[in-house]
Amino acid sequence: MGVVHRQIPTQRPFLVTGSQAYPPRMACFEVTLRDRTTEEVGDADAYQQEGPMTTFFRTGDGGRVDSWSTRVASVRTADVLLIRRTTATAAVSTLRTA
């Protein structure tokens, strides 16, 4: 009976050739309120309605809100006319607490 030689494939390391494919997000949201004032919420990846409030979150995985997400700001949903996602700006104003 003949001898069977088996070759074990070797893995080659992945070589990084450039910058990240998806750079870290620095998004903010521009919120237009019923009285036509505009506020910016910085360092937030996502938002969702929580009862009578719309809450903005900082997430670790790029936009999916879960139990590990951090609340950044909240605004009354009845006062919101428009929410627009924009790029981060240097000067970001904070929303007043309710």
Q: Is the pTM of this model over 0.75?
A: no
DSSP string, 7-72: PPPPPPPPPP-SS-SSPPP-EEEEEEETTS-EEEEES--EEEEETTEEEEEE-SSSS---TT-EEE
Please give the helix or strand (H or E) that residue 69 lies within, else none. Answer: none
For the ranges 3-7, 26-30, 93-97, the one whose mean pLDDT is highest: 26-30
Domain ranges of the chain: 28-87
pLDDT tens readout for residues 29-64 = 999 999 999 999 988 889 999 999 999 999 877 668
pLDDT tens readout for residues 5-20 = 777 667 666 666 655 5
